[in-house]
Amino acid sequence: MSDDPTTSSLINLVEEHDRQHGVQEVRIKLPIGHIAGKWWGPRNVRPILCLHGWQDNAGTFDTLIPLLPRHVSFLAIDFPGHGYSSRIPDGLTYQTISSINLLLAIMTEYGWKKVSFMSHSMGAVLHFVFAAIFPDTVDLIISLDSLKPQVLPVEFMITRLADSFPQFMIADARNQQKSEPPAYTYDEMIERLHEGTFQSISKETCPYLLHRNIRKSAKYPEKYFFTRDSRLKHHAGHPFSHELIMEFATRLKMPFMFVKATRSPYFEEKKYYDEAVQVLREGNAYFELHQVEGRHHVHLTNPERVSPLVTDFLARYWTEDEDVVESKL
């Protein structure tokens, strides 16, 4: 992708990393295009479905999964508009709740009767909602530094909506023009990702996300541009009431592990988080909460702090399920 030896070595590092771990790229057909993913582990075992955070991609699990048991399979996907997955059609907005249908489509594609989750941030919010709506189909969930949808003040939400839709219109118009986004050197890409996440993603682990999120510029041979859909920046969030979220929490009876990073914000008033934890502790005998030192992307930047917790949890609750359509891979 580049003549610069340092850049090439970082790109090759990610590709060699996948080869060493036997990772297989998959494509799942949808009416809007396809969902891309990375399959780790045995192909005849139903994998744990791994959902990434907002504007991240399947690469967010690249450092954690190699530290987990090799006999367990994992399928990390790119949400629409992220990574190698298709964008939604022009004129439409991204809504997290719409991905409920996406998860059902993946289950149908592979013939799963059950689904297991390991997700970060936005992905963890989504599987919280999915598991509450379809509790009989979810056998375990692992949430990494996000527990549930946020409860935000009404005035903030109104302002957010008033700001996001006009900005979406601008981004959508730019997409329709098919013009190339701003381009940067690879080092600048690392700096923008590192600073854009408030140093949550270390510079050393930025390449794992950039690998699925950039393309070489046609205008500037030594520069790259971000390929994720810019409309993603202007979504409306998760407009659920606190009462509904608490009702969701009462329906989660399956093994549920939540890993909270100590230096990551709660993204809402802490009282709402505390009440959800209380409901889960009182109503779910299989709920457990662990704290680890680190920022929001600790699973990526310091996976050795998270992997022992996940490994122990899987040893207690994961069971091999060969209910998977191998021919679909």
**Measuring CA to CA, which residue among 291, 255, 268, 59 is closest to residue 148?**
268
Per annotation, catalytic residue among 121, 146, 200, 264: 121
Distance CA 193, CA 173 (A): 25
Calculate ∠ Cα 265-103-149, nearest 5°.
25
Distance CA 202, CA 93 (A): 30
Number of residues written out for the chain: 329
Count the alpha carbons within 13 Å of 257 in the hemisphere toward its beta carbon. 24
Distance CA 297, CA 173 (A): 32
Distance CA 228, CA 220 (A): 19
The verdict on whether 179 is a catalytic residue reads no
Look up residue 325 and give its two tokens: 């359509």
With 0-12 CB in 10 A as exposed, 13-18 as middle and 19+ as buried, what is 9?
A: exposed
Active site residues: 121
